[in-house]
Amino acid sequence: MLCLRHLVRCVDTHVMVVSVRYHNLYYWNQMFVLTNINDSIGSHLSSTHRSQSLFKNKNLISMTEKGLYVLMPYVVKAMNKLVDIIDDEMRQINAHKISMPSIVAKDLWDISNRWEESKEELFRLTDRQKTSFCLAPTHEEVVTQLVSKTKHLSESHLPIYLYQITNKFRDEIKAKHGLLRGREFLMKDLYTFDANEEKAKETYDKVCNAYENIFKRIDLTVIKVRGSVGNIGGKYSQEFMLVSDLGEDEIYKCNVCESAFNTELIDNTDEVKCLTCNSNDLKKLNAIEVGHTFLLGTRYSHNFNANYISNDSEKSRKVFEMGCYGLGVTRILAASVEVLSQNYSIRWPKSLVPFRVCLVLPKKGSKEDVYNGTEFSLDFAKSLTNIFNEDVFIDDRTNQTIGKRLFGLQSLGFPYIIIAGKRITEEIPIFEVIDNYRNDKYFMNHLDCIKFLG
Ligand SMILES: [Zn+2]
């Protein structure tokens, strides 16, 4: 029989579980792929495909088919951090997360006329009853139908912001550059429903602002570029672009008013003028599209009869003014590594780095190991997980010398590597700390390490 004391303890434990996120030590030898790391890179590493080459060379991704990848634990950790940042910014604008099915019926796409309009990039499939479906690249139809079913919505329930972060599909002709252009990828898509055009524009600015915050938090400098609405349709669209030689989009940036637009918007390339100020003083740049925002108008809400009860005296029904907003999550991760990395080493944005700290244990049987250096280091690493609320990576390949392990470690992009080297046996044990972001090296005891990392 349970006594009261036991019950109270259960409640305590439960409270702890929901309020604290546990952090742990991760060991090299247990992380599956890292045990197989290939450090002999260099000759075939192209300077314009850094993210792909680095991820592949370090066995952080594995291709199953063209444009389809397994992401290994180390990359998934970074991806989860990016998802956390996006969720956080979406909470700030009161957007709510949902999850919609990836398989969407042709019937639904016929209502918006997108089934016929879509080119070969749409993955199409048929079930055993011969009903046609697609693997959805976006979800305007599903979400608009969902909202259209809720007939009780009045103007005071608005705006409605619904988003998801799920895998999307595109049958790319040119699946290349690794995670930058895959056929299945993680995407965040937000759909907004407002009472009128003015409110929809306010929403548009609010979401763009949230997107700018996301890019700031991951150290990416993006520019907003006027884009084509393409087959999603609507009144107006902008793309968030990362200027890079690897980019497949071409944009014009105006030297007079600083505005930018996609070359897709230009018919005659002989005489290009700025769409904002009419100047012809333009710079052509290559860029990677990492986000796309659309002011949709009523294209979908009209076709799906998605409406709300207005606050006017007649309580008339009005169709929603919609917006949709995409972020290529997989692509952002790859693009950030692409622009920040050096040729032989991955560099992550600080807010996405899978592990901030790697602690290198002494070689087994060495003086440092025998004189408690290993035990002291592991205790210290454990305390770091508690103090900083983060996971710490342990290099436990203790059958090798530290020097031999260091090169591979450096190239994985840990901001800080803490080594239990020769001075770990001193009366007050001293660690060697490599600061890879400042390219510097320090010696300090464990207390100074904590201050340094704080
Ligand atoms: Zn201009």
272 CA distance to ligand 1 middle (Å) = 11
Round to whole Å and give the CA distance between 116 and 105: 13
443 CA distance to ligand 1 middle (Å) = 53
Residue 15 confidence (pLDDT): 45
250 CA distance to ligand 1 middle (Å) = 17
122 CA distance to ligand 1 middle (Å) = 36
266 CA distance to ligand 1 middle (Å) = 14
The model carries a pTM of 0.90
Residue 36 confidence (pLDDT): 59
**Tokens 């979800």 sit at which residue?**
139
Residue 95 confidence (pLDDT): 98
258 CA distance to ligand 1 middle (Å) = 6
265 CA distance to ligand 1 middle (Å) = 15
Query: Residue type at 417?
Result: I
Long-range contact set of residues 220-226: C-beta below 8 Å, sequence gap at least 24: 220/290, 220/332, 220/335, 220/336, 220/339, 220/349, 222/290, 222/291, 223/251, 223/253, 223/260, 223/287, 224/260, 225/251, 225/260, 225/261, 225/262, 225/287, 226/259, 226/260, 226/261, 226/262, 226/265, 226/275
260 CA distance to ligand 1 middle (Å) = 8
261 CA distance to ligand 1 middle (Å) = 10
Residue 179 confidence (pLDDT): 87
Round to whole Å and give the CA distance between 402 and 390: 24
225 CA distance to ligand 1 middle (Å) = 12
Q: Which residues pair with 239 in a beta bridge?
A: 225, 292
Round to whole Å and give the CA distance between 440 and 454: 17
As given in the structure block, the two tokens for residue 375 are: 């035990």
Low-confidence ranges of the chain (pLDDT < 50): 1-19, 40-45, 47
* Phi then psi dihedrals of residue 408, to 5 deg: -60, -40
282 CA distance to ligand 1 middle (Å) = 8
User: Domains in the chain, start-ordered, CATH in brackets?
Assistant: 22-40+355-453 (3.40.50.800), 60-340 (3.30.930.10)
156 CA distance to ligand 1 middle (Å) = 40
Residue 35 confidence (pLDDT): 61
296 CA distance to ligand 1 middle (Å) = 25
Is residue 429 within 8 A of residue 423, CB to CB? The reply is yes
Residue 49 confidence (pLDDT): 67
Is residue 407 within 8 A of residue 40, CB to CB? The reply is no
Total Cβ atoms within 10 A of residue 156 = 9
37 HSE (CA, 13 A, CB side): 21
447 CA distance to ligand 1 middle (Å) = 55
Round to whole Å and give the CA distance between 97 and 190: 9
Round to whole Å and give the CA distance between 163 and 24: 31
237 CA distance to ligand 1 middle (Å) = 18
As given in the structure block, the two tokens for residue 208 are: 């763009």
Tell me, rounded to whole angstroms, the distance of Cα 375 from its chain centroid. Answer: 37
Residue 37 confidence (pLDDT): 58
134 CA distance to ligand 1 middle (Å) = 41
Round to whole Å and give the CA distance between 206 and 170: 29
